[in-house]
Amino acid sequence: MRALVVYESMYGNTHRVAEAIGEGLAQVYRVDVVPVEHAAAGLVEAADLLVVGAPTHAHGLSRSGTRASAATEAGKSGGTLTLDPAAKGPGVRDWLETLPATRAKAAAFDTRLDAPAVLTGRAAKGIARRLRQRGLELVTAAPESFLVTRQNHLEPQETARAREWGRQLASSLTPAA
């Protein structure tokens, strides 16, 4: 069975979460973890499970303007924020518009500030809605968020939590032996 984890990331946090989810899924699946730019139709078509994640920008999915702001902030951060190779885009919002037909089951995640979701918004809600609109079956009760500090660094426990989320997702989709 194959799983495809597709991520968007400006500062590398969503990238790191995607890799950790991939490690958890790898206990059951053959896993590819790729930025949107490399999420080619062939990979999507071959996947049994599609996991999509993005940073929360302006309460939802990024747009080119919010990605430009993020890049400007990195430039002003004195080196504490560096741009991920995926920062040049494209973003998940545009990619989902052109998602090829797939039989894959799906799950969504995001990264967002460590504060109540009602205040921060959640990119993953928009991802889940779009995946559903394109006919994919969502296999988690709710999309998952992984949290960053106000300085845009992943909270320390979140990598391990992402790995465990991936592991549980995989085992929930595997028939008991």
Ligand X SMILES: Cc1cc2nc3c(=O)[nH]c(=O)nc-3n(C[C@H](O)[C@H](O)[C@H](O)COP(=O)(O)O)c2cc1C
The residues of the shown chain that bind ligand X, judged by CB under 6 A, are 9-15, 55-59, 66, 69-70, 73, 111-113, 120-121, 148, 152
Judged by CB, which is closer to ligand X: 28, or 107? 107
Residue 96 Cβ vs ligand X, minimum distance, rounded to whole Å: 17
Name the nearest CA neighbour of 134 among 108, 172, 166.
Answer: 108
Residue 115 Cβ vs ligand X, minimum distance, rounded to whole Å: 7
CB atoms closer than 10 angstroms to residue 98: 8
Residue 45 Cβ vs ligand X, minimum distance, rounded to whole Å: 26
Judged by CB, which is closer to ligand X: 93, or 105? 93
Distance from the first to the final alpha carbon of the chain: 16
Residue 7 Cβ vs ligand X, minimum distance, rounded to whole Å: 8
Judged by CB, which is closer to ligand X: 4, or 17? 17
Alpha-carbon span 176 to 114, nearest angstrom:
35
Task: Note the helical H segments in the chain.
Answer: 13-25, 41-46, 64-76, 92-97, 117-120, 123-133, 158-172
